Structure 1
Amino acid sequence: MSAHGPMPKSAWIFPALAMLLFAVATGLELSFTPSVGGFLFAATLLAILFGTVFAAVHHAEVIAERIGEPYGTLVLTLAVTIIEVALIATIMLGEKPQPALARDTVFAVVMIVCNGLVGLCIFIGGLRYREQDFQVSGANLYLSVLFVLATITLIMPNYTLTAPGPIYSAAQLGFVDLVTLMLYGVFLYTQTIRHSDYFIKGGADAATETSSLSNRMLALSVALLLISLLAVVLLAKKFSLVVDVVTAMIGAPPAFAGVLVAVLILLPEGVTAIAAARNNDLQKSINLALGSSLATIGLTIPAVGLATAVLDKELVLGLNGQGMVLLLLTFFLSMLTFGTGRTNILFGLVHMVVFAVFVFMVFVP
């Protein structure tokens, strides 16, 4: 889908189909079972769910184009985060609890975004333009907050004494949720108000582009965005049943569910980031990629933490040794990649190799 031109039919058809599917499935008490009818239902559900996620991102892009950067990227990021929280919370708190799903999904998002997506964007941009530049000041702000949030949510739980790792005690989790929200909130203030020029291609001297989108189309996109997000939230429970059964049938490791959720929520935003890199706008690609990682930790962990605390469920956060090594490697590599303000194909290839190692280790740990 494109944010330019007339609204594509799929942008309103998929949200409508999603609401209809939920109503029919609820009314007829349809569910997923390992049968021909069950797999047909699962295929229909996944197709409509993917289409609705793409529709939600399309409408977020339309709104983003109207309000401009860096607010536009923020709208995209928040829309995707809402979808992510709904899917994670529904699967985690379902009939078959998965206390490590939030950790696995957040870790998968960081690895997919900071290595797979960033690497692909840099590699594609390097092939087409040899070198691309971006704002080092903005990238450094992203990385400083990301490193702190990832460390206190994915590594620190392994080394606490109040509760045996890899979990936080109730007091520790509440404190971490609070400081995570506070730090992410200050980052948003910095990104959108205090130093917004750090996140715009060309900095403070960049020309402001105006959108020809009418107020009527803007209102329609806002309404359809809300409907799309609601539809995804409503279908999350059905999707969780499919994930549970398929994971068990193919004998996939527990982390596979987290990777699957991460791919679902990141695919539309990833397409947007890659398109921006092809158009020589690596700054937008970085904003989308690193912004997704920050929002995933800054909003998802507190939301899931609150849900598990209220429902008295266990939340496993600490990574194993292999995961911590990959995370720290991603930190060091990102510092080198975003330290100069210019990129080339080798930076992109190195990131993609780290991502390939992550995917391989999920299935062959």
Structure 2
Amino acid sequence: MSIKNLIFTVLLVFVPVSILGHFLEWDALVLFIVAALAIVPLAAWMGTATEEIAVVAGPSLGGLLNATFGNATELIIAFIALQAGLVDVVKASITGSIIGNLLLVMGLSMLLGGLRYKEQEFQPLLARVNASSMNLAVIAMLVPTAVGFTSSGIDELTLQRLSSSVAIVLILVYGLTLLFSMKTHSYLYDVGVAGLESDEPGVIGEAESHSAEKPNLWLWVGVLLAATVLVAIESEFLVGSLEAATKQLGLTELFTGVILLPIIGNAAEHTTAVVVAIKNKMDLSVSVAVGSSLQIALFVAPVLVLAGLVMGQPMDLNFNPFELVAVAVAVLIANSISSDGKSNWLEGTLLLATYAVLGLAFYFHPVIDGLG
């Protein structure tokens, strides 16, 4: 068992601990920490179960499963927070996920991979396609915010209708990106998939991945359902203790939403991206980091907008202007560094430095309406 798998296995102890803490009414900060630690290994199990089911389901359905459940943990946390009326925290977690994947995950991957290999390569054409998609995501976030900022008399209902319309466009575009990656231009993604199958067979259960026999479909479906239910329960604990915990830590909910929640929800996926980069599979690493950002922007965010209407918790795409600036900066530098299809440790350091600067800005950002 690798160190990574061992850590995730040990962290499972926090699942019963957090449940016990909930019934014993532990301090909010303690419950927040143990719930966060419990979510990390559960997210790993969800990812592994999805990969194992994909092996049985075949490449087309398997790809769709991975595309749908890739950010399931973050989506569940966001649903729970949205249901609790923490709309601004949900928005912050969306921008934080995009920033974290493009700067923190890709930065760590390029840095650690670059320390082992002088220069690493990935497909520049794929990088350019991803860059164009991320530019669309920035535009989709910019337009409702710009309309709200430039039209002082605009009402919330109009912004909600605009956001819902934009959300439908983004979901359609996400569907087209799946068609592009799984059908018409699937060859661009073959290198990363081959690298995943040969060198990174999942977060848990490496022995099963190397087996000639196909995985037990119903076993992994059960694992996926159980992990999903437990993530939902832990998310309830996390969100329920969020406000009190952030006050005890001296943090604003803006910082918590942008920095802490995305790291908690994406820890397992982040680890995978870094590990494969160290194994010189930069194609796969970049695919994981950028693909996760695209899924957040083109699928998770619009789904949350539409779900908010159904749940009676309306959420629009009118973001805090500083969040929008941060996303634009992250997309700009990530596109600039990845455009040539090559990476080194210095470029990874530049991405991490950008993430640190933005993190400090969010930490010192004054409390605004609805946050903190």
Answer whether TM exceeds 0.5 for this pair: yes
1:115 corresponds to = 103
State which of 126, 149, 154 in structure 1 corresponds to 2:137.
149
Check conservation: 2:39, 2:265, Cα contact below 8 A: no
Calculate the aligned-residue CA RMSD, in Å: 3.6
Q: CA deviation at 1:63?
A: 4.7
Aligned residue runs from structure 1 range 191-210, under 5 A:
191-201=181-191
TM-score (norm 1): 0.82
Q: Which runs of 5+ in 1 are unaligned?
A: none
Matched, 1:296 2:284: no
The Cα offsets for residues 167-195 of structure 1, whole Å up to 9 and x where unpaired, read as: 96232122111101000000011111110
Check conservation: 1:134, 1:283, Cα contact below 8 A: yes
State which of 44, 56, 59 in structure 1 corresponds to 2:46.
56
1:212 corresponds to = 211
* Residues 1:73 and 1:352: Cα distance change in structure 2 (over 3 Å): farther
User: Which whole-Å CA distance do the structure 2 matches of 1:208 and 1:327 have between them?
Assistant: 32
User: Which whole-Å CA distance do the structure 2 matches of 1:335 and 1:56 have between them?
Assistant: 30
Q: What letter corresponds to residue 228 of structure 1 in structure 2?
A: A
User: Which whole-Å CA distance do the structure 1 matches of 2:321 and 2:312 have between them?
Assistant: 27
Matched, 1:286 2:286: yes
* Residues 1:230 and 1:198: Cα distance change in structure 2 (over 3 Å): same
Q: What letter corresponds to residue 40 of structure 2 in structure 1?
A: F
2:161 corresponds to = 171
The Cα offsets for residues 309-353 of structure 1, whole Å up to 9 and x where unpaired, read as: 123334253344433333222232222212111112221111111
1:309 corresponds to = 309
For this pair of structures, how many residues does the alignment match?
351
Matched, 1:327 2:315: no
Q: CA deviation at 1:252?
A: 1.3
* Residues 1:208 and 1:193: Cα distance change in structure 2 (over 3 Å): farther
Matched, 1:183 2:173: yes
User: Which whole-Å CA distance do the structure 2 matches of 1:307 and 1:31 have between them?
Assistant: 33
Matched, 1:30 2:23: yes
Q: CA deviation at 1:275?
A: 0.4
Q: CA deviation at 1:18?
A: 4.7
Q: CA deviation at 1:30?
A: 2.8
Matched, 1:100 2:88: yes
Q: Which is bigger in relative contact order (C-alpha 8 A, separation at least 6)?
A: 2
1:239 corresponds to = 238
Q: Which runs of 5+ in 2 are unaligned?
A: 199-208, 366-372
TM-score (norm 2): 0.81
Q: CA deviation at 1:251?
A: 3.0
* Residues 1:311 and 1:67: Cα distance change in structure 2 (over 3 Å): closer
User: Which whole-Å CA distance do the structure 1 matches of 2:223 and 2:6 have between them?
Assistant: 12
Q: CA deviation at 1:290?
A: 0.7
Q: What letter corresponds to residue 291 of structure 1 in structure 2?
A: G
* Residues 1:353 and 1:69: Cα distance change in structure 2 (over 3 Å): farther
User: Which whole-Å CA distance do the structure 2 matches of 1:207 and 1:58 have between them?
Assistant: 12
Deviates more, 1:286-295 or 1:220-229: 220-229
